[in-house]
Structure formats: structure tokens, C-alpha cells
Amino acid sequence: MFAIYKKEMRSYFINPIGYVYLGIFLAISAFVCCFTTLKANSYSTSTYFTFLIFALAILIPLLTMRSFAEEKKMRTEQMLLTAPVTITGMVMGKYLAAFTMFLSTVLLSCANFIPLYIIAGEERAVVADTAAPTIGPETAKIIGSLIGIILLGAAFIAIGIFISSLTESQLSAAVITIGVILLMLILSLINGIGSDEAGTRLISNFVVRQVIDWISVLSRFEKFGYGIFDFSALIYYVSISFVCIFLTVRVYEKRRWG
């Protein structure tokens, strides 16, 4: 597994895709953070993280689209299948490499919050001591949101890896992954659409609404945004990752022995 992991990490920087991903992620996060906090004269980061979540729909496929699709296109898939490594190890090596890239950029993007703390410190120095505790970003909410973003990203990467294992076209893998992630993100928005004059929801069936709410990955992020660690959401995101990795393993076990 470690050999596959090293190979994948190396490939991100041999090919331009790694630099493209890093550049786009950091540029988007810096731009959004600037306009939702500094330009808005606000310490609230909730809007920033909401925009970042939707940006993942485009960014994550950049990491995962080539994972297995490229192996098929380059006809190196058989080398992987006959290598002295288990199918699980092969899949986990690719998954962990993509997750490492994602986690690294998320941590690097935390530099966006440094100006907020600097400005807050300067403001505290010129206001009365009684007002000082109310000035500045809410660290608990930032940390909670970061944990939520990392868990979301881990689930999305697993989805992207699975989709990449089903096709040999990187473009197809990217487009399908974008579509699936966007669908998962907007389900909660659809479920929360306003009501008609009689106060009846547009999605009136209670069971359907409950199912949509359970599937929605965005609604489960809300508690993290308030600085509350949601254990059930943790289980949910980990479960998505596990299921998609398991399905990817099954796909390649079938190919190895089929």
C-alpha cells in the first residue's frame, strides 16, 4: 500500500494536476475568505465555509478523476492487478494519496484566518476591556467547520475514487463526480424550499422529506458550523467513505478474478 501511496503522491507533482489543484484551491479559498470577512467587515466565517463546500464539487474531481481512469487509458491497470499488493491496499494507497493532498491544502488555507486574528488583536487594543471579549473570530466555530470540511472531503474523495474505477475517461469521471457531489449538496436545499400559501411544503410527503434529509451531506455539516462536534455526522461521513472504498475494491476484485 505504501508503494502505491508514494507513486500516487509523486504523480501529483510530476503531472501538472497537483499544482493546478493546489493553485485553484488556495486562490478560491483566499478570494472567498477576503470577500466574506475582510470586505464585509465581519468576523463570521460561516459564508466562507459554505462557499468552500460547494467549491469542493469542482476541486475534488481534479484529485480523483485520474486515479483509476488513467490506469485504464494507459493500459497499466493489469500491472496494478498483478502487483504484489492486495486490492484493498491498492485502493487505499490511491485514496490516502488524494486525501493527503486535500488535507494539506485545507491546512494551508487556514492562513486565510491570520489577518482576522491580527485585526481583532489591534481592535482589542483600542477598545474598552469590557468589549474586548466580543471582538474577533470565533475559534470554536472555525475549528468545527474545518473538521466538517475534512470529513466531507474524505467522503467526496471516496466517491470520486469509486467513479474513476468505473470508466477509462478522466473527463467522464470528473463530470460524473461533479454531478453526484452537487446532487448530494443540493438535496437539503430542495428539501427546505419554501411553502405555498396554505403552508404546505412543496415536498409534502413526510417520508420522502425524511429520506432526503437523511441522505443530505450538507444538513449534517450544520452542527460543525456552530462549533459542535456531531458524532452521528462523523459516522455518516465515514460510512460513505467506507462504502465507496468497499465498492471500488469489489470492482477490482471482479476484474482480477473475472
pLDDT value of residue 237 = 94
Q: Running along the chain, 258 residues long, what does each successive block of 10 average in pLDDT?
A: 88 88 94 90 90 94 87 73 81 95 96 91 69 72 95 96 90 93 81 48 58 76 89 93 94 77
pLDDT value of residue 31 = 95
CA distances (Å), 243 to each of 53, 238, 250, in order?
21, 9, 10
Cα–Cα distance, 115 to 126 (Å, whole number):
17
pLDDT value of residue 158 = 96
Among 194, 180, 142, 126, residue whose Cα is nearest residue 33: 142
Does residue 6 contact residue 94 with C-beta atoms inside 8 Å? Answer: no
Task: State whether residue 201 is helix, strand or coil.
Answer: strand
pLDDT value of residue 195 = 42
pLDDT value of residue 42 = 86
Residue with grid cell 486574528, as numbered in its chain? 117
Does residue 148 contact residue 221 with C-beta atoms inside 8 Å? Answer: yes
- The total number of residues shown for the chain amounts to 258
pTM of the complete model: 0.89
CA distances (Å), 62 to each of 20, 179, 211, in order?
8, 14, 30
Provide the H-helix boundaries in the chain. Answer: 2-14, 17-33, 46-64, 69-73, 77-82, 87-109, 114-126, 139-164, 170-191, 206-215, 222-225, 231-257
| Extents of the domains making up the chain | 2-257
Cα–Cα distance, 245 to 253 (Å, whole number):
12
Non-local CB neighbours of 33 within 8 Å, separated by 6+ positions = 45, 48, 109, 112, 113
Among 115, 129, 139, residue whose Cα is nearest residue 39: 115
Radius of gyration of the chain (CA): 21
Task: State whether residue 248 is helix, strand or coil.
Answer: helix
pLDDT value of residue 126 = 73
